[in-house]
Amino acid sequence: MQVRLFALSTCPYCRMTKRFLDDASVQYEMLEVDKLEDEAKNSAIAEVKEISGGASFPVVVIGEEVIVGFNKKRIKELLQL
């Protein structure tokens, strides 16, 4: 199952989400949106707004499910951990 993480490098909840996924040995793609430049950053922000309905971080996409914020319980459910 494909897992994507949209995060900010300065966000404590983003770091907790990343740490949780790493500790669970989950393979995922991560974009630290604030470290992107110009069009890449604008594109990532637009994608986050489109899939989550806002601009809050972190955003975790597991398959077709979108989780806004660090929701450890829901991540575990979807990944069957």
Q: Which domains does the chain have, with CATH numbers?
A: 3-79 (3.40.30.10)
Q: What is the pLDDT of residue 69?
A: 95
User: What torsion, rounded to 10 degrees, do the Cα atoms 10, 21, 1, 33 define?
Assistant: 10
Q: From first to last of its 81 residues, what are the pLDDT tens digits of the chain? A: 899 999 999 999 999 999 999 999 999 999 999 999 999 999 999 999 999 999 899 999 999 999 999 999 999 999 998
The Cβ-side half-sphere exposure at 37, using a 13 Å CA radius, reads 0
Q: What is the pLDDT of residue 13?
A: 97
Q: What is the pLDDT of residue 1?
A: 80
> pTM score, two decimals?
0.92
Q: What is the pLDDT of residue 20?
A: 97
